Amino acid sequence: MRKWIGAMAAMGMLALGGLVAPAAQATPGAVTADPKVIRVGATQAMDSMNPFLAVRLVSSSIHRWMYGYLAVPDSKTLQPSPDLAESWTTSPDGLTWTFKIRQAQWSDGQPVTAADAAWTFNKMITDDGAKTANGPAVEDFASVSASGQDLTIKLKTPQASMLDNPVPIMPKHVWEKVGDIAKYEANVYPAVTSGPYIAVEHKKDQYVKLKANPDYWRGAAKIDELQVIFYDNPAAAIVGLKKGDIDLIGRLAPPDFDALKGDDNIVQWNTEGRRATYLQVNHGATTSDNKPIGDGHPALKDPRVRQALHYALDKQKLVDEVQNGLAKPADGSIVPPMYKDFFWQASGDQKVGFDVAKANKLLDDAGYKKGADGIRTMPDGSRKLQFRFSIHTDTPIEEKLAEYLTGWFKELGITLTTKRLDSSKFTEETGTTALFDIAISGWSVNPDPEEVLATHLCSRRPTASGEGGGTESFYCDPQYEALYQQQLKELDRPKRADIIKKMQERLYTDAPVIALYYPNNLEGYRKDRIAKVTSIPEDKGMLYGGSGYWPFYTLEAVSKDGAAAEDEGSNTGVIVGVGAAVLILLGAGFFLSRRRKTVADDRE
Amino acid sequence: MTIAPPAADAIAEEPARRGLLRYAVSKVGGALLSIAMVIVATFFAFRLLPGDPVRALAQGRNMTPEQLDLERRRLGLDKSLPEQFLEFVGQTVRFDLGTSYEYKRPVLDLIGERIGSTLLLTGTALVMAVSLGIWQGARAGWKPGSRFDKFSTGVSLVLWSVPTFWLGLLLLMVFAAGIGPIPGIFPTRGIESVDAPDGFGYVLDVAKHMVLPCLTMVAVVYAQYLLVMRSSVLDEVGQDYVTTARAKGLKDDEIRRRHAVPNALLPTVTLVFMRIGFVVGGAVTVEAIFSWPGLGQLFYEAIRVPDFTLMQGTFLLITVSVIVMNTLADVIYHVLDPRVRSA
């Protein structure tokens, strides 16, 4: 027992002693560290380095910094602009696209050709295992072929969103050797890439290290190394940013963003976001073969009731109280205002403002009479207007939202009860079994809004046995369907935008979903480390949260200024370390003296 | 898991050892039965959890109905429950824990990558908590009501009642970020620095990263060892042999350490072995606060999806290690305490 304690003490000393040494070493390290390194924090770890499999946002971001695409959003307008494809043409029927792949190099020196792109797409078409990450992107592809630098893609049906294709072009000469792509981890470094960065190291659940690609066709990035460091919780990441363990972090919730206030070295980056938060209303959910499903309240089938609910929402209040003012109230639908070309908002008579009297009148006129208890009933008196509001467990923002909604609906004579569900149950009840009345929802929209529009199509409804699916509303509206098909074929951007706006207008007036607000994109970075970063779009756009590699390609590091501050830091480290060492020595001395004493006692 | 049969003549020669062997075999048999039941229970328990893993994985992503169905087929979710069960049992007995839904990689590999860091953290914390608890508990129980007793029991109980998450974040904010005159000397996350040095420097780097998570874990749990130790020492204080030892003129400290503590150690040993079983499971909360790349975190993520195979795998690992450790505790008890043998 005695020896054991002694050994423990020795181990403890070793461990504590370690605190001193690295602190002491840090000073020379920091001064001689010439390479310009920027560290990005992420509150999510990589799920896979294989772009065919990776689905998490952090993974697709990192892959966007590593690989080239056919086209990327322009940094100013967000319109598709050349990337690996330097130009393209479309056949008059819109079914054949021909891309000219630019003369560029893979990071191992091999030339980039159309064969690389063709291999990537064909792999996804022929191998189900390669569909995991971006399967829908090739679903409409009939065939893909390559000749030199020319890539020809034949489509089954016209697809105007073609240039927003999210598939990274992979080097054929490296990836064709992979056996089973569905099981391939892609942990070979340095990775062979054609984008601004090359992954050189990945420690699972810890970090990814990327080096600037010196042969990048746009020119090498201005920093030498980009590190992505994973945090499990946002609070720790905020501490990391304040301390300088990381230099930038995106995707912050309002309270975490507010926690950055008052730090002179940190820039709070608050811009329009790419997300819409909306209510999903069970307006009579049906399956893909048009049979009713779920237990939605019959009153919600009535568009006048949905409209009345819409009038009862004080969206500005929600923004102020629920989002700490860091959002924009929604007078439109599912496309947020940052996408200027496609954003639609209601005006004039169409606009639904906060007007409880009007809401009450709508319900009165529609025959929903108030009972003695002040609660309205169906016109035939069969049921009271008592709705459930489905939210996720442990989400303070949604809890608050539920409180406000309950209060407002009460003024209409409608009872709202909150139903808290864990996320998988929530997804099931609001997306498959339709066991809900009103649910909270939201969607992050890409520069081309095609995919969010598709989530409200008839075909996205599940079958009765729960197959298929992917709907955000159980919506199935002939007018909306027709507009969707029309915009798919429309290759003229302004004309297509008009159609897409009509689709949003339809969603706004028919109200299967009611947009509440567009949360801001909240990020923070250290200005003592990052000298310059270009957002996307360049005018007050996003950094980490944005699509494409612009912000991270254009990063510039502050050179050497930080050295003085770091010196000071490690000095305090040394002082504390020395203090700890003295304490340990004292403790050890005490132990030893006691030990000697007891040994002497034993001998007596 | 096979038990090598000892040579027959050895058994004949030593009846005592034979008794132990028979005891051990019966315990191991019981453990195997428990494990078999756990395998069955694991499968069905996790199937009772609500939610469609494919829909959950597709959340917020653009997935066409065709692709969702393809994913269901790939994960074997289109098969009937009995079919899935047979497949699961067949794989498990061959030590194949299946492929994770989310990571698309063998569960065994995922566990293998993380078990080291978990064992390092929870193991160190366990050793420290046990030593601290036994030491303070023995002293506190020896002189109940003394200032030391009141102080150490009080402090440990306060820490025991503190929520782990709160304490962890507090330590993180004070000692990793630094507040006022306190410098933030400890890292804010993980098990190692991004540019960690090699060799001995690396060991020191990891040690530095371990301080705060370890401290959090020890602070929150050491009270249980302290209390168990304290009460069993308390039982020994009035015993005749203690009086005898005093009469022999032994120093009080010596009586405690040489006579009372060894006798009082048994309940603590049981507790320790039970806790060792849980060490494998890691500490979900602590790992989450300090971004420690361990098993607890993996399990937590698996539940969120829900990633059935990953949950089954980690859960099986944890339950099996608890069962194994309990069995071991039973056997060791038998060796340590002659009284158990006759019972």
Which residues of B fall within a CB distance of 8 Å from A128?
Answer: 70, 74
- Of A277, A229, A230, the C-alpha closest to A253 is A277
Closest residue, chain A, to B110 (C-alpha): A204
Nearest CA in chain B to A182: B104
The reported pLDDT for the residue numbered B329 is: 82
- Residue A52 CB contacts under 8 Å (≥ 6 apart), including other chains: A123, A124, A129, A130, A131, A132, A133, A134, A170, A181, A182, A184
C-beta separation of A281 from A300 below 8 A: yes
Q: Which residue has the higher pLDDT, A501 or B105?
A: A501
Cβ of A431 and B177 within 8 Å? no
The shortest C-alpha distance from A183 to chain B (Å) reads 6
CA angle A192, A193, A195 (to 5 degrees): 165
ipTM over 0.85: no
Which tens digits make up the pLDDT trace of A132-189? Answer: 889 889 999 999 999 999 999 999 999 999 999 999 999 999 999 998 998 898 999 9
Amino acid B248: pLDDT: 87
- Among A304, A294, A283, A273, smallest CA distance to A444 is for A273
Are B74 and A444 an interchain contact pair (Cβ–Cβ within 8 Å)?
no
- Residue A533: band (very low, low, confident or very high) from pLDDT cuts 50, 70, 90: very high
Percent residues over pLDDT 70 in chain A: 87
Please give, rounded to a whole number of angstroms, the shortest distance from the CA of B15 to a CA of chain A: 31
Distance from CA of B32 to the nearest CA of A (A): 33
Query: DSSP for A443-467?
Result: EEPPSSTHHHHHTTSGGGSBPTTS-
Contact B201 A236 (CB under 8 A): no
A599 lies within 8 A of chain B by CB: no
Report the distance separating Cα B115 and Cα B321, nearest Å.
Answer: 13
What single DSSP character describes residue B106? B
% of chain A beyond a pLDDT of 90: 76
A337 touches chain B (CB under 8 A): no
User: Is the per-residue pLDDT at A3 higher than 80?
Assistant: no
8 Å CB contact between A502 and A462: no
Quick one: which of A505, A165, A475 has its CA closest to A335? A505
Distance from CA of B289 to the nearest CA of A (A): 6
- Chain A contact for B207, CB < 8 A? yes
Residue B76 with chain A: CB contacts under 8 Å = none
| Minimum distance, in Å, between the CA of residue B221 and any CA atom of chain A | 19
Residue A339 has pLDDT above 80, yes or no: yes
CA A167 to chain centre: 17
Q: Does A206 touch chain B (CB under 8 A)?
A: yes
Inter-chain contacts counted by CB atoms under 8 A, chains A and B: 205
Taking an 8 Å cut-off on Cβ atoms, the answer to whether A466 and B52 are in contact is yes
Place of tokens 């993996």: B298
- The model's confidence at residue A470, banded by pLDDT at 50, 70 and 90, is confident
> How far does the CA of residue B178 sit from the closest CA of chain A (Å)?
8
CB contact under 8 A, A236 and B291: yes
Residue with the larger pLDDT of the pair A224 and B90: A224
CB contact under 8 A, A423 and B127: no
Q: What is the pLDDT of residue A260?
A: 93
- Comparing A45-59, A85-99, A496-510, the range with the smallest average pLDDT is A45-59
Tell me which chain A residues have a C-beta less than 8 angstroms from the C-beta of B189: 229-232, 236-237, 240, 245
A343-372 mean pLDDT: 95
Phi, psi at residue A5, to the nearest 5°? -65, -40
**Three-class SS of residue A439?**
strand
A232, B114: Cβ pair inside 8 Å?
no
Q: What's the pLDDT score for residue B265?
A: 85
CB environment B231-265: b (16+ within 10 A), e (fewer): ebbbebbeeeebeebeeeebeeeebbbebbbeebb
Q: Which of A503, A459, A499 is nearest to A480 (CA)?
A: A503
Give me the pLDDT at residue A604, please. 39
CB A406 within 8 A of CB A414: no
Give pLDDT, residue A560. Answer: 63
Question: In this complex, which of A183, A231, A459 lies closest to B189 when CB atoms are compared?
Answer: A231
Mutate to test the interface with B, among A14, A34, A206 (most CBs of B within 10 A): A206
Instruction: Give the best residue of A32, A205, A465 to mutate against chain B (max B CB count within 10 A).
Output: A205
- Residues A517/A519/A520/A526 CA torsion (nearest 10 deg): 160
Structure tokens, A303: 């568009």
Identify all chain A residues contacting B178, using CB atoms and an 8 Å cutoff.
Answer: 243
Question: B residues 125-184 near A, CB within 8 Å?
Answer: 127, 131, 135, 169, 172-173, 176-178, 183-184
Helix (H) or strand (E) holding A597, with range, is helix A563-603
Q: How far is CA A139 from CA A124, A136, A142, A177, A214, in A?
A: 9, 5, 8, 24, 35
List chain A residues with CB under 8 Å of B285: none
* Residue numbers of A between 160 and 179 with CB closer than 8 Å to B: none
Predicted confidence at residue B182, as pLDDT, reads 83
What number of residues does chain B have? 343
Length of chain A measured in residues: 604
Q: Can you tell me the distance from the alpha carbon of A188 to that of A176, in angstroms, rounded to the nearest whole number?
A: 14
Helix segments in chain B, DSSP class H: 8-13, 15-48, 53-57, 65-74, 81-93, 107-142, 147-161, 164-171, 200-237, 240-247, 252-254, 261-279, 284-289, 295-304, 308-336, 338-342
> Omega before A51 cis (within 30°)?
no
Instruction: Tell me phi and psi for residue B284, to 5 degrees.
Output: -55, -50
Distance from CA of B210 to the nearest CA of A (A): 9
Is the minimum CB–CB distance between B57 and chain A shorter than 8 Å?
yes
**Out of A15, A422, A427, closest to residue B59 by CB:** A427
DSSP states along A274-310: SEEEEEEE-SS-B-TTS-B-S---GGGGSHHHHHHHH
**Cβ A240 vs Cβ B178: under 8 Å:** no
Within 8 A of B245 by CB-CB distance, chain A residues are none
B79 in contact with A at a CB cutoff of 8 Å?
no
Q: Quick check: B191 contacting A, CB < 8 Å? A: yes
Tell me: pLDDT of A268 over 90. Answer: yes
Kindly state whether B199 is in contact with chain A, defined as any CB-CB distance less than 8 angstroms.
no
* For residue A223, pLDDT beyond 80: yes
Name A81's bridge partners. A72
pLDDT tens digit at each of 343 positions of chain B? 444 444 444 444 556 667 778 888 888 899 999 999 988 888 888 777 766 778 777 777 777 888 888 888 878 888 888 888 888 888 888 888 888 888 888 999 999 998 999 999 999 999 999 999 999 999 999 999 999 999 999 999 999 999 988 999 999 989 988 887 888 889 999 999 888 888 889 999 999 999 999 999 999 889 999 999 999 999 888 888 888 888 888 888 888 888 888 888 888 888 888 788 777 766 888 998 999 998 888 888 887 777 888 888 888 888 888 888 888 888 877 777 766 665 4
CB < 8 Å to B113, chain A: 204
How many angstroms away from the CA of A365 is the closest CA of chain B? 38
Cβ <8 Å between A18 and B208: yes
Within the 258-317 window of chain B, which residues sit less than 8 Å (CB to CB) from chain A?
261, 287-293, 297, 304-306
**A239 and B173 in contact by Cβ < 8 A?**
yes
